């Protein structure tokens, strides 16, 4: 495969005016900086997004392979390599990321070494709970402002997995001013996009659908296009999952399209889980036989599908097969919601509300509050339970 610089240089040599056209598209006034980058082996672009835009334009359908090969040839001690680690992290290219981490782990550049530590930790943290992650981060002081911020992102993702929304909010207050202090460029824009996406998750769990949608749309307007847009659209869909089927599905369908565009099967699976839940909630096109059980989340969706189809005996068998010891507070909250949908026993919904309160989730708490209202609970009681 031809190298990126060679491909671009050949195109510029054969197509008159293309260099200036590309320069303007990537935000440059003239093509001079591009030619300097092309003709000097060790020269790198200050902004990684310029390289990505050029690769997409010049290399068309094979741009992704070409750009990854380009990343592997970067100087481990320079900013472009560090930016590449962030790019691969956002795009969830684990294989190429690990190759770059091998190239940077012995770097004698303190900034690169700092990046290597935290982007390596990002991979390891997926197998840890938030307490373990917090301990590692607290015991090591980051050497750069970028990694001070990124370490908090790793922690926020761990809090999100553990449904610790209040802890997430506290981190936002800490890192937002730090991002403002960062040098303008790819890293600052990427971190801003990460923060915007996480803010949407936090607002969703505050239980304000319209505010979630508003913040999500603002994030999509300001962010560079990345797989983070999948999560933003998914959370906007989740915001309306109990209130507006049409609007929820609009955002879910967009999220699915984006996940397919980015070839991100993990995020696509997450969105499909939300779609299955939504269809079960609204009792539309909900077929238990079409839900494959590959984990607890999909098992609960299958339970919900049986409930929606009035197959309560099948649903209860599955509920009773789950060991409560395996569940965190978030999963327990949903467990008792599903159980209450079978038994119509207020106590199950009260248990659900209590566990949602422990996690700080005000959005999905409404699942059980809506059912308690149907069962005759007073507005005063429901208001106290929602506080």
Q: For the residues 266-278, what does the mean pLDDT come to? A: 94
Radius of gyration of the chain (CA): 24
Position 41 in a domain: yes
pLDDT band at 2 (very low <50, low <70, confident <90, very high): low
Cβ-in-10-Å burial (0-12, 13-18, 19+) of 337 comes to: buried
Q: Can you spell out the DSSP letters for 105-169?
A: TT-S-HHHHHHHHHHHHHHHHTTS-HHHHHHHHHTS--SSHHHHHHHHHHHHHHHHHTT-HHHHH
Give the integer Cα–Cα distance in Å for 334 and 301. 10
| Residue % of the chain over a pLDDT of 90 | 84
CA distances for 364 relative to 31, 94, 113, 217, 369, angstroms: 53, 32, 41, 21, 9
Q: For the residues 208-228, what does the mean pLDDT come to? A: 92
Give the integer Cα–Cα distance in Å for 349 and 367. 9
Tens digit of each residue's pLDDT (9 = 90 or more) over 224-244: 889 999 999 999 999 999 999
Position 296 in a domain: no
Give yes or no for residue 209 having a pLDDT over 70: yes
Q: Are 212 and 200 in contact (CB under 8 A)?
A: yes
Position 136 in a domain: no
Give yes or no for residue 173 having a pLDDT over 60: yes
Out of 14-18, 178-182, 345-349, which region has the weakest mean confidence (pLDDT)? Answer: 14-18
Position 43 in a domain: yes
Position 58 in a domain: yes
Give yes or no for residue 295 having a pLDDT over 90: no
Give yes or no for residue 101 having a pLDDT over 60: yes
Q: In the chain, how many domains are there? A: 1
Q: Which two tokens stand for residue 215?
A: 């913040």
Give yes or no for residue 292 having a pLDDT over 90: no
Q: For the residues 80-88, what does the mean pLDDT come to? A: 96
Q: Domain of 43? A: 1-73
Position 49 in a domain: yes
Q: Report the range out of 9-18, 20-29, 125-134, 163-172 with the highest average pLDDT.
A: 125-134
Give yes or no for residue 375 having a pLDDT over 60: yes
Position 369 in a domain: no
Q: For the residues 172-182, what does the mean pLDDT come to? A: 95
Give yes or no for residue 172 having a pLDDT over 90: yes
Q: Which two tokens stand for residue 132?
A: 């373990």
Determine the pLDDT at residue 40.
Answer: 86
Tens digit of each residue's pLDDT (9 = 90 or more) over 37-68: 999 888 888 799 999 999 999 988 889 899 99
Position 60 in a domain: yes
Long-range contacts of 111-116 (CB under 8 A, 24+ apart): 111/82, 111/143, 111/144, 112/76, 112/77, 112/78, 112/81, 112/82, 113/143, 114/142, 114/143, 114/144, 114/147, 115/82, 115/85, 115/144, 115/146, 115/147, 116/85
Long-range contacts of 73-79 (CB under 8 A, 24+ apart): 73/3, 74/44, 75/42, 75/44, 76/103, 76/104, 76/107, 76/109, 76/112, 77/107, 77/108, 77/109, 77/112, 78/44, 78/112, 79/44, 79/46
Determine the pLDDT at residue 372.
Answer: 96
Give the integer Cα–Cα distance in Å for 13 and 21. 13
Give yes or no for residue 1 having a pLDDT over 60: no
Tell me the average pLDDT of the chain: 93
């Amino acid at each position: 495969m031809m190298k990126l610089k060679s491909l671009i240089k050949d195109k510029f040599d054969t197509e008159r005016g293309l260099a200036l056209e590309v320069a303007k598209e990537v935000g440059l006034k003239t093509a001079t900086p591009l030619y300097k980058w092309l003709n000097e082996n060790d020269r790198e672009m200050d902004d990684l997004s310029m390289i990505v835009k050029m690769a997409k334009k010049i290399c068309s359908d094979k741009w992704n392979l070409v750009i990854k090969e380009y990343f592997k040839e970067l100087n481990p001690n320079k900013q472009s390599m560090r930016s590449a680690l962030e790019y691969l992290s956002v795009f969830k290219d684990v294989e190429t990321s690990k190759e770059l981490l091998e190239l940077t782990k012995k770097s004698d550049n303190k900034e690169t070494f700092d990046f290597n530590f935290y982007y390596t930790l990002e991979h390891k943290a997926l197998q840890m709970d938030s307490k373990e992650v917090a301990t590692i981060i607290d015991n090591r002081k980051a050497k750069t402002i970028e990694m001070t911020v990124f370490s908090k992102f790793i922690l926020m993702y761990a809090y999100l997995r553990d449904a610790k929304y209040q802890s997430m909010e506290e981190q936002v207050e800490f890192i937002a001013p730090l991002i403002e202090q960062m040098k303008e460029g790819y890293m600052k824009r990427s971190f801003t996009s990460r923060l915007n996406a996480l803010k949407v998750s936090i607002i969703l769990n505050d239980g304000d659908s319209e505010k979630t949608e508003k913040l999500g749309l603002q994030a999509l307007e300001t962010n560079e296009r990345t797989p983070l847009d999948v999560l933003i659209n998914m959370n906007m869909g989740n915001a309306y999952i109990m209130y507006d089927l049409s609007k929820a599905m609009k955002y879910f369908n967009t999220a699915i399209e984006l996940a397919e565009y980015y070839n991100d099967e993990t995020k696509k699976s997450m969105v499909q889980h939300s779609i299955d839940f939504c269809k079960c909630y609204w009792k539309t096109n909900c077929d238990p036989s079409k839900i494959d059980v590959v984990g607890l989340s999909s098992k609960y969706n299958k339970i919900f599908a049986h409930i929606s189809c009035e197959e309560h005996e099948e649903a209860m068998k599955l509920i009773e097969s789950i060991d409560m010891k395996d569940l965190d507070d978030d999963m327990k909250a949903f467990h008792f919601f599903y159980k209450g949908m079978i038994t119509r026993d207020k106590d199950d919904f009260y248990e659900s509300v209590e566990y949602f309160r422990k996690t700080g989730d005000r959005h999905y708490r409404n699942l059980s509050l809506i059912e308690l209202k149907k069962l005759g609970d007073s507005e005063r009681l429901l208001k106290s339970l929602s506080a």
